[in-house]
Amino acid sequence: MGHDNLPIKVSANGRMSIPAKHRKALGLEGGGMVVATVQDGELRIQTVKAVLDEISALLAPALKASALKASGSGVDQLIADRRAEFAKEEQEYQDYLKARQTWGS
């Protein structure tokens, strides 16, 4: 917990005001959206950006692994397969041309 704990009054209908000092620290001086969660008996209020940053950090290893897999041997194998396919088709075409020349003779 921070050292700038400030008491906040919660009204009967559940409304409360976030102190200006805290709004400024969160970049919410002009208002904005936040996400509220209850965690271990505490109300946690985060900016939407902070939540998205947490999600990105959690997904980063999986996305990195996926990107490495896509740019690694799988792609190399695909390229090798396509090259072999092209070579086979080229040979078939050359064989066809040779055969065609003999047809005219």
**What Å distances lie between residue 85 and 29, 82, 92, 96, CA to CA?**
62, 5, 11, 17
pLDDT at residue 98, as a whole number: 85
Whether 72 contacts 78, CB under 8 Å: no
Q: What is the DSSP string of 28-45?
A: -TT---EEEEEETTEEEE
Query: pLDDT value at position 52?
Result: 92
Q: What is the mean pLDDT of each run of 10 residues along the chain (105 residues)?
A: 78 93 91 92 92 90 72 74 91 86 74
Token pair in block for residue 91 = 């040979």
**pTM flag (> 0.75):** no
